[in-house]
């Protein structure tokens, strides 16, 4: 049994551990969840679903973070 899957993360092919959740991916990447939005496929996921949403092989994930500027 393979312990990794391949997803597309922000346009880049990325190999991650199987059974990784959106919350786990955010944590592994060192991204603060504050000001962060995540879409899997064409669906924006509310933060309340990040811990329950396991990524699947072939998923397309976009992680967007708000940046302050002036």
CATH fit for domain 4-65, picks 3.90.700.10, 3.30.390.10, 2.60.40.1180, 3.10.20.30:
3.10.20.30
pTM here is: 0.89
CA distance 5 to 44: 21
User: How far is residue 7's CA from residue 57's CA, in Å, rounded to a whole number?
Assistant: 6
Whether 60 contacts 41, CB under 8 Å: yes
> Confidence band (pLDDT; 50, 70, 90) for 70?
low
**pLDDT tens digits along 13-67:** 999 999 999 999 999 999 999 999 999 999 999 999 999 999 999 999 999 998 8
């Amino acid at each position: 049994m393979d312990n990794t899957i391949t997803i597309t993360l922000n346009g880049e092919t990325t190999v991650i551990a199987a059974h990784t959740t959106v919350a786990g991916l955010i944590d592994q990447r060192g991204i603060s969840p504050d000001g962060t939005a995540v879409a899997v496929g064409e669906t924006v996921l509310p933060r309340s679903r990040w811990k329950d949403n396991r990524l699947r092989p072939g998923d397309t994930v976009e992680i967007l973070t708000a940046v302050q500027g002036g």
